[in-house]
Structure 1
């Protein structure tokens, strides 16, 4: 991403991420499709658990953002062996954090069900699902770390193929374990969770093997799994704002799910299906944002801030154009889109209202996510975090409460009362759209200020290897995906 035409290189880097993320949504779409054949309570349970499970998985956002920023900038600066060291510490941190979260989540699962508003049969189904999902957290974190490492090095295709294999495996297994086929019992929502567990386990195992092989542009050295306090501290420092960012998104999603649940099962089920469609747009824009992060990081590592900015501008414009077109298509056929998953007339009617409102803002959702990717690639994760906080907690949640439930303020002395409209569930849908437009405008203004161009790597870390003595480039002796690697004995003392 540091030389040549920007648009074609960005497309080459981004399309495997887009395809991989779209395939990743098969986990959710396949689960929802087959669970919809069980009961509306099962659909509502999975809908409520989507933001809750994402609350835990989003902790890995910090790990991913830090890994992409540091690996890409080290690669851009020519020190591939230092990038390898980042990978080792990333894997170590991923397992430790995910294990702690899995234990805490499992032990507190009943309290979590109460907080999110799951009641009656929905609560029972939700527990069956989330108990297994907690067990899969370490596997999920390992795959996220693997994907971030390869992405920082500029390889996005390998992870795409691995996502494809695991997503297809999940989709194939789902009907057997959810509905029961032959000797297999019908496990309902718990079967959906076990299918996801198996698919993620497959992806994590193959991902670790690929990193150990080291033939894909980055390598996991067993010696790098020893804790390195300085490097771990750097990963945490760069990554924690993105973790807080993920939590802000997740708590907002949980809060919105809780607000929706107060309008009944039809609104909850419609919201769950509508969010699945929105997740496709997030998948596309998130993937382009990840590619943008790599492009920005490598160019800042190569000390080319103007080229880094060009990467961000072109990626943002293309993503917004694509998502506005996709939103227009869904806006035309919202009922058809809803009936793919459910036939309940009440759910379909509410889903039509949701899609008709939210699709008009899909482009703004995507534009903000790409800009946040640019900030993360630069290591300016605090700015990306601030934008998420503003998007959800300054704009969306207050609007949702005011428009859905209504409020009134009386001006002292004048006795004039100002009241917000009590629109019910429709007010929640409008909060999504208006919040997206406002937060994109804020993100664009912040990006134009240009305070993100310094990068995060310490140039003192760019220690030349023996290759520089013979006229080579600083850093590792490998180039691209060449399997020829330096050994651990080639690495100078830090």
Structure 2
């Protein structure tokens, strides 16, 4: 795909790359919806367990995702520059680093889990389910990291089909095992929420094993060997330089959702259940736009590596227009069919009534988040400018979403220069204020992201380019600016 990515028609290439990724996203979200469906049969407490624990899981997985993002940027840019051997060495170093890191992360996760759940103010009804679910998922964290690294490397090469085939298999395993483990069908033990977590871990083990097999048998665009997995501290340094800001940014964002969960839970189980189901539906309907963003990331990385910065900018701009339209259609569909869809998952009048608030005060901002913010953020990270993506993500969540949702949900008002400005009082101290603040954060963050993107400061390569003779060019290694 390299020639087509660098010189082919943008829309056609984007579609070719995005097709498998769209399928991948929709299938993964389909599993989440299936998970929600089966757990909903146990009650809203069990249904809420994955939603409550994923901010904690995401916070720790984000540390590894940052290094995967760095590996993606390096491998993609080396391929764009025609430095294939360096791409292989980079992939091997990424895998070895992720292995060490994931084991350490899993140990820390198990130690802090009970304290994190208490900090989030998880209700006594939901707490035992959340603790069980997260404990099992954390035990399988090394396999999740390995599968995540494999997917990032394949996207960097332009191979978006292979990860999708494996994901399809793992999701099918998940979907089949879910009801068997949750309800004890066909002679399996009845495990409840623990069964849903166990199904997830088993699927990740299968995905990680297949990915490693393909990489070690020269069946995909990247080739690994035992030699390439040996610690490479020089490249680890590069991964840390580029990956650490991304890790910090993504983990800070995920931890931000721990705080956000605490804020939402302040209004009870009903509000959080409505939020959980609604976000699952949005993720499914916006799977298309997220797949396009991921495909765009591959094109950005390789074009930046080849020095085609204006083409990279044009790719990002066109992706924004397409994704904004798709996300807008998704919100419209949910708005029209909200009640019958919710009844499929949880026929609870209180939750269905609460979902209207989530839609009107928060979901209308999703096109700005998916269509502009996400595209800009992925552009920065794919170009290797992870400090920019880190700052942008932290600003959206810690600078805007958390303060605004708390202020409009809990703070009566403020006085500035003698002028009294109502906040939570405007919404009667209800969940409307929280979701209004969340929606407002998406609007403001999108404007800031677009302005930063248009400045063009991300249009620089991060790799060390070499001439055909092996000598370095005068450009050398460009640190992220």
Q: Partner residue of 1:431? A: 437
RMSD: 1.6
Offset at residue 205 of structure 1 (A): 0.5
Alpha-carbon displacement from aligned partner over 1:105-133 (angstroms, at most 9, x marks no partner): 11222212211212323111111111101
Equivalent in 391, 397, 421 of residue 392 of structure 1 = 397
Rounded Cα–Cα distance in structure 1 between residues aligned with 2:273 and 2:433:
17
Equivalent in 362, 380, 383 of residue 378 of structure 1 = 383
Offset at residue 281 of structure 1 (A): 5.4
With the length of structure 1 as denominator, give the TM-score of the two structures: 0.90
Offset at residue 18 of structure 1 (A): 1.7
Rounded Cα–Cα distance in structure 1 between residues aligned with 2:35 and 2:469:
50
Offset at residue 373 of structure 1 (A): 1.2
Offset at residue 277 of structure 1 (A): 2.1
Q: Partner residue of 1:420? A: 423
Rounded Cα–Cα distance in structure 1 between residues aligned with 2:287 and 2:116:
27
Label 1:136 to 1:284 Cα distance change in 2 as closer, same or farther (>3 A): farther
1:288-367 aligned at under 5 Å gives the runs 288-367=292-371
User: Is the counterpart of residue 112 in structure 1 residue 123 in structure 2?
Assistant: no
SS at match of 2:187: coil
1:157-168 aligned at under 5 Å gives the runs 157-168=161-172
Offset at residue 283 of structure 1 (A): 4.1
Q: Partner residue of 2:205? A: 201
SS at match of 1:121: coil
Equivalent in 158, 165, 184 of residue 180 of structure 1 = 184
Label 1:166 to 1:220 Cα distance change in 2 as closer, same or farther (>3 A): same
Offset at residue 425 of structure 1 (A): 0.9
Offset at residue 282 of structure 1 (A): 5.9
Alpha-carbon displacement from aligned partner over 1:178-236 (angstroms, at most 9, x marks no partner): 11113222211100000001111110100111111222211112201111111111111
Offset at residue 244 of structure 1 (A): 1.6
Higher mean alpha-carbon deviation, 265-274 vs 422-431, is at 422-431
Is the 2:413–2:424 contact (alpha carbons within 8 Å) kept by the matching residues of 1? Answer: no
Rounded Cα–Cα distance in structure 1 between residues aligned with 2:107 and 2:286:
29
SS at match of 1:333: helix
Equivalent in 24, 29, 47 of residue 28 of structure 2 = 24
Higher mean alpha-carbon deviation, 176-185 vs 148-157, is at 176-185
User: Is the counterpart of residue 13 in structure 1 residue 52 in structure 2?
Assistant: no
Is the 2:286–2:330 contact (alpha carbons within 8 Å) kept by the matching residues of 1? Answer: no
Equivalent in 231, 237, 241 of residue 233 of structure 1 = 237
Is the 1:400–1:428 contact (alpha carbons within 8 Å) kept by the matching residues of 2? Answer: yes
Is the 1:338–1:352 contact (alpha carbons within 8 Å) kept by the matching residues of 2? Answer: no
Equivalent in 441, 449, 453 of residue 447 of structure 2 = 441
Equivalent in 12, 28, 44 of residue 40 of structure 1 = 44
Higher mean alpha-carbon deviation, 81-90 vs 43-52, is at 43-52
Offset at residue 60 of structure 1 (A): 2.3
Is the 1:60–1:141 contact (alpha carbons within 8 Å) kept by the matching residues of 2? Answer: yes
Structure 2: gaps of 5 or more residues: 471-481
Offset at residue 450 of structure 1 (A): 0.7
Rounded Cα–Cα distance in structure 1 between residues aligned with 2:74 and 2:193:
39
Offset at residue 417 of structure 1 (A): 3.1
Equivalent in 439, 458, 467 of residue 452 of structure 1 = 458
Q: Partner residue of 2:478? A: none
Rounded Cα–Cα distance in structure 2 between residues aligned with 1:326 and 1:56:
30
Offset at residue 32 of structure 1 (A): 1.1
SS at match of 2:460: coil
